[in-house]
């Protein structure tokens, strides 16, 4: 047992009949929020955290409960100070098959700043920025957005359609 990760081991029968020790890591599920303001801007977080360093991400974090939408609302409020009028689950992703961890992706509409951020003391520094759609697409194209499954999903759709219109329709539905 660890603070964030628990590791499990078991004996696995191999294809040739021999056995080997397998491991799996388990961690709490998380939420990532694509937040759109009332003026149509997208919220990004320029973050700095111990060990990780500086990066650009969407708001999100570790789930404390089971209600994905409520957890998305909570993380959005804590990290940005913004509240959404409507938040919906978009998709979920598992990062790696050896890690039992679901990342839930949500879209939050009509976000408005209502309070100051409530960040982990000493553990994170976040500057929230509102950016336009084209700047957001540039972050994805340049690989500057930290969230790989999100970027992969977006680029997969882009390859199918040769356009970011599907993303625009999802964001501005």
Is the model's pLDDT at 165 over the cut of 80?
Answer: no
φ, ψ of residue 73 to 5 degrees: the values are -60, -45
* Per-residue model confidence (pLDDT) at position 84: 97
Q: What pTM was computed for the model?
A: 0.84
Is the model's pLDDT at 95 over the cut of 70?
Answer: no
Confidence band, pLDDT 50/70/90 cuts, at residue 173? low
Give Cα 24 to chain centroid, integer Å. Answer: 22
Confidence band, pLDDT 50/70/90 cuts, at residue 151? confident
Choose between 98 and 151: higher pLDDT.
98
Based on the number of CB atoms within 10 Å of its own CB, is 76 exposed (0-12), middle (13-18) or buried (19 or more)?
buried
Burial of 110-132, coded b for 16+ CB within 10 Å and e otherwise, reads: bbeeeeebeeeeeebebebebee
Choose between 69 and 52: higher pLDDT.
69
Helices (H), strands (E): how many in the chain?
4, 11
Choose between 84 and 147: higher pLDDT.
84
Least trusted range by pLDDT, from 37-51, 69-83, 95-109, 146-160: 146-160
* Per-residue model confidence (pLDDT) at position 49: 86
Would you tell me how many other CB atoms lie within 10 Å of the CB of residue 133? 16
* Per-residue model confidence (pLDDT) at position 62: 94
Euclidean distance between CA atoms 82 and 94, whole angstroms: 27
Choose between 157 and 115: higher pLDDT.
115
CB 102 within 8 A of CB 148: no
Report pLDDT digits (tens) over 18-51.
Answer: 999 999 999 999 999 999 999 999 999 999 988 8
């Amino acid at each position: 047992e660890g603070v964030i990760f628990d590791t499990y081991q078991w004996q696995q029968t191999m294809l040739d009949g021999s056995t080997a020790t397998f491991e799996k890591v388990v961690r709490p599920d998380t939420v990532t929020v694509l937040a759109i303001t009332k003026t149509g801007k997208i919220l990004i977080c320029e973050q700095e955290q111990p060990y990780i360093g500086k990066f650009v991400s969407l708001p999100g974090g570790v789930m404390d409960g089971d209600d994905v939408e409520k957890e998305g609302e909570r993380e959005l409020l804590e990290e940005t100070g913004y509240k959404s009028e409507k938040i919906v689950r978009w998709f979920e992703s598992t990062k790696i098959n050896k890690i039992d961890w679901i990342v839930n992706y949500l879209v939050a509409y009509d976000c408005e700043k209502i309070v100051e951020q409530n960040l982990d003391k000493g553990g994170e520094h976040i500057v929230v920025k509102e950016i336009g759609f084209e700047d957001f697409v540039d972050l994805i194209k340049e690989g500057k957005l930290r969230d790989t499954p999100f970027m992969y999903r977006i680029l997969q759709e882009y390859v199918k359609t040769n356009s970011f219109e599907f993303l625009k329709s999802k964001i501005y539905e």
